[in-house]
Amino acid sequence: MSTYAVGDIQGCYKALKKLLKKVNFSPDRDKLWCVGDLVNRGSNSLETLRFLRDIDDSVSIVLGNHDLHFLAINEDCAPEGTKNTLSKLLKSEDCDKLCDWLRKKPLVHLDCIDTKNGLEDFLMVHAGVAPTWSIKKTLKLAAEVELALQGKDYRKFLKNMYGDHPNRWHDKLQGQSRLRTITNYLTRVRFCDDLGNLKLDIKGGLCSTPKGFKPWYEYEKISDKAMILFGHWAAIEGKTGKSRVHALDTGYVWGRELTLMRLEDYQRYSISK
């Protein structure tokens, strides 16, 4: 049995299937971890979700910002004028069932893998974490958002999750502001400062780093306890410069590569456009 973590799929179903075939993936034997952003931008979001739902027992998924956006669009909770490539998915007869399935997925996944170096904890998140968060705190805060997303008032969360403020975590945040801030770290962060102030409007690579800011993983305090897997940031092309922080979004939807990493030996496999 092997465990593979795949970068942002973004509706590129054919590429996903091709990459899984390359490693001889079998849902009866292997496990697939998905770092989020399963849908949007690519042309086959519907097929992607149907495939992952069909092998649900073999898949571990964390939600990304595009997945949350899809859920919000389907519930008429997204801001007007937001762009998407989800029309086929939204018009499908099983869209609501796919949404119900997706809403039950977490924002953080933690598990122990028997690697070539011995047992190792892996923490998977779509975008990142705040500088002050431990593993325990990350899981606890993610659970607050998951509870809101899975509860009877989930539409209230979906409607209020949009926005860049508050732009810094502190424990006294409450209500929708608290949930929005947690969500922004877990599904949107790229750059922050040492206090955790977010700079969400910059989406480029390291050459676009704002003064006083660094990539979030320069501040994190988790990787000494667990390997970190994340997606979201195609512009850094899968490179963090850190042996225990693994970027898996290598920008297939932008004309580059889709990447899998086998967790047991850290081997990467990719296919190009």
Per-residue pLDDT in tens (0 to 9) along the chain, 273 residues: 999 999 999 999 999 999 999 999 999 999 999 999 999 999 999 999 999 999 999 999 999 999 999 999 999 999 987 778 999 999 999 999 999 999 999 999 999 999 999 999 999 999 999 999 999 999 999 999 999 999 999 999 999 999 999 999 999 999 999 999 999 999 999 999 999 999 999 999 999 999 999 999 999 999 999 999 999 999 999 999 999 999 999 999 999 999 999 999 999 999 998
Domain boundaries, the chain: 3-272
Contact 3, 262 (CB under 8 A): yes
Query: Whole-angstrom Cα distance, residue 228 to residue 245?
Result: 5
Q: Which fold has domain 3-272?
A: Purple Acid Phosphatase; chain A, domain 2 (3.60.21)
Using CA atoms, how far residue 35 sits from 9, 92, 211, in Å, is: 9, 24, 29
pLDDT, tens digit, for every residue of 160-212?
999 999 999 999 999 999 999 999 999 999 999 999 999 999 999 999 999 99
| Tokens read off for 112 | 């122990």
Query: Whole-angstrom Cα distance, residue 70 to residue 67?
Result: 5
